[in-house]
Structure 1
Amino acid sequence: MKKVAVVVQDGTHMFGLGSICEVWAEPYHPEDDNPVFDFTVCSPTPGRITGSAGFDLFVEHGLEVLEDADLVCVAPKDDFTDQHPAAVQAVRRAAERGAVVSAHCTGVWLLGEAGLLDGRECTTHWRYGDQLQQAFPQATVRSEVLYVLDDGVLTGAGSAAGIDASLHLLRTVFGARTAATAARRIVMPPHRAGGQAQFVRAPVAQVEAESLSPLLAWALEHLDEPLTVERLAEQAHMSERTFARRFRDETGTTPLKWVTMQRVSLASELLEHSSLAVEQIAGRVGFGNAATLRHHFSAVLGTTPQAYRRTFCSLEAV
């Protein structure tokens, strides 16, 4: 993946476009050896493109840049039910020749118009999930998650989740270390646990739930130990019932699911950057044995630890 092109139209959401630029458009970062991409913004109507925030863009390139792009991104826009036919056709052709196609928030409507959501799982901002499902009934809309990558089509939830989606694709293509390095440059975590539920259910309650931050840091240092709900609640000085409710309010998931995700994440790092045997890694991350590690690793990442290591193992660990 070398060439990245972004499609913008009138009414472009500037933060949505910016979230794409943060991951793929950085032209120079001497502090690391992450890849630098050939990044181009294009439009079906080159020239002045209206923005949604009171200022406009000037776009020099037309849709011809999509013809050899490895990754085609679609920026969200205001009137998302009105997609330019030429943009729809160009993105469809890019997907048909094998390019990865990405859109988040309302940009996903263009993918739907191009027929790229049919038979696939996808997501969008929780506000528009039902509307997206009604518009494209052959798709499976998962409004509770931050992003979905399904057979070369990446969709993300609203606003900042565009960065989450791009980091996930960066990790899938280039490995965990590259994604973590990019996340560090952007100053955000390489993976956010939970999904959109944490924002849909009780966004105002986030302040109260901040008391769990020390517990989460403690748990990350003790992944190799038994981390039951009872033990976590005791560490947080709460009843199990209060703790479970508070934990879901903060993370959007259950304590055991969160612990499992952290263990899988640590296992993937060790598979990439260490020569430890799978059985040793299972013990190090708290799964106990290789069979349990394989079960959870496959459930979360869709592959086995051995296959993951063959794909992403760094040279230093070979």
Structure 2
Amino acid sequence: MKAINLKSPKTIIALAVVLLALVAPAVIDNSYILQSLIMIVLYAYLACSWNIIGGFGGQFSLGHSVYFGIGAYISTLMFNLYQVTPWIGMLVGAVISGLLAILISYPCFKLSGSYFTLATIAFLHVIRLLITTQDKILGFETRGAQGLQVKWRNGGLLDMQFQDKRDYLYVILLLLAVVLMVSYYIRHSKTGYYLAAINTNQNAAESLGVDVTRYKLKAMFISAVFTAIGGTFYAQLILFLDPQRIFGADFSMEIMLFAVVGGAGTILGPLLGAVLLVPINELTRSYFGAQFSGLGPLLYGLILCLVVFFLPGGLLPNMKAFYKKHRNPEHRETKKALD
């Protein structure tokens, strides 16, 4: 068995996450800080979900908020109208989102590069316009642009509604752990190797017998399922669904941004990106408020440009490269002298 390197950036980040999961909920009692931590972990979860198709498969989808919104709306309608627990509504919304992802992605995967990305953006806008302009969809009242209120019941684990913010933090940390474990399994499985080949050179992978469409659809299904699950959690946390927000292009961009900045295609990169970038938006909104309402997205854009130009591949791969370069200076000096 391969020994764990306690000094590697990957191990350090993993240990920091475990420490946060164990310590933070127990020692923090400030509601604002707890809410901020919940949002950081939620965005990390969504970025990891996107990474399964966008990072491993190299298919840059900018329409993932569709699956997030569908998961949120389906579980909320089941909860409000039929008193179905969100844990069941979460699974129903996840399956429907995954099947819709396959239905939409199958023709879109015939496109490549930026054309696929543009197709996902177009799909997002079609769904957003449908939700915001129709008060009823398939006979269910969605209230259009007014948004949908999530009913508050007695609260508790069955309803996924808690008086204490710590309980929400425990739930989303558990979901994050699940998506990280699934990501690790995919990355080190045959599916992960095929996705890596597709990401590197799709035509070459296809010529070697890889069923490109099948594996991309498989990755998209898993990614959409996890994203929809995040939508249900968000609905029960916020208790209100604003279609302009959850079906918005900027929301999809944020999910993608955290993964790309942290390191798309790595397991912990999206987590790192969310941990570093989400607080920026929270701090700018807290200190500058409505006076500079667009400051957060502006800073996101600047950070993305800096990463693309100076740290291609994202922060985590460059941190690992820096560590490998400097971990044994004596060996480098000896090698240089021999050369």
Please tell me the TM-score bracket, short chain as reference: under 0.3
TM norm structure 2 = 0.24
Q: Point out which structure has higher relative CO (alpha carbons under 8 A, 6+ apart).
A: 2
**More strand per residue:** 1
TM norm structure 1 = 0.25
